[in-house]
């Protein structure tokens, strides 16, 4: 793994905690009609989706394979 892939992996793991917290609180507020912050549920879920999507992108960057021969990624094999 390159240094950039290691950094992407670390940041992706770090983003799982806030993304998961926003998701849990968003689901909790959405299912509890008597909660004082029930109107905040869609916003929390939107923030959770954005954070977890960024974490997914960083995981993809961390685990994608680089071309073996140093050519472009669009080059045909052979």
For the stretch 14-68, pLDDT in tens is 999 999 999 999 999 999 878 787 888 999 999 999 999 999 999 999 998 776 6
Number of domains in the chain: 1
Q: Tell me how crowded residue 7 is: count the other CB atoms within 10 A of its CB.
A: 14
How far apart, in whole angstroms, are the C-alpha atoms of residue 36 and residue 21? 18
Supply the range of the domain harboring residue 49: 3-63
Note whether residue 33 is domain-resident.
yes
For residue 77, tell me if it sits in a domain: no
> How far apart are alpha carbons 30 and 38 in whole angstroms?
6
Task: Evaluate whether 15 touches 51 at the Cβ level (below 8 Å).
Answer: yes
> What local confidence, expressed as pLDDT, does residue 70 receive?
61
Q: Is residue 69 part of a domain?
A: no
Question: Given this model, what pLDDT does residue 36 score?
Answer: 81
User: Residue 64 and residue 8: Cα distance in Å, rounded?
Assistant: 11
State the pLDDT at residue 61: 92
pLDDT at 74 over 60: yes
Pairwise CA distance, residues 50 & 54, whole Å = 6
**Where residue 78 falls among pLDDT bands split at 50, 70, 90?**
low
Q: Is position 74 within any domain?
A: no
């Amino acid at each position: 793994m390159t240094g950039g892939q290691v950094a992407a992996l670390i940041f992706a793991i770090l983003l799982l905690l806030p993304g998961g917290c926003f998701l849990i609180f968003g689901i909790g507020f959405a299912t509890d009609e008597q909660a004082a912050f029930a109107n905040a549920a869609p916003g929390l879920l939107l923030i959770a989706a954005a954070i977890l999507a960024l974490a997914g992108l960083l995981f993809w960057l961390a685990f994608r394979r680089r071309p073996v021969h140093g050519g472009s990624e669009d080059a045909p094999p052979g």
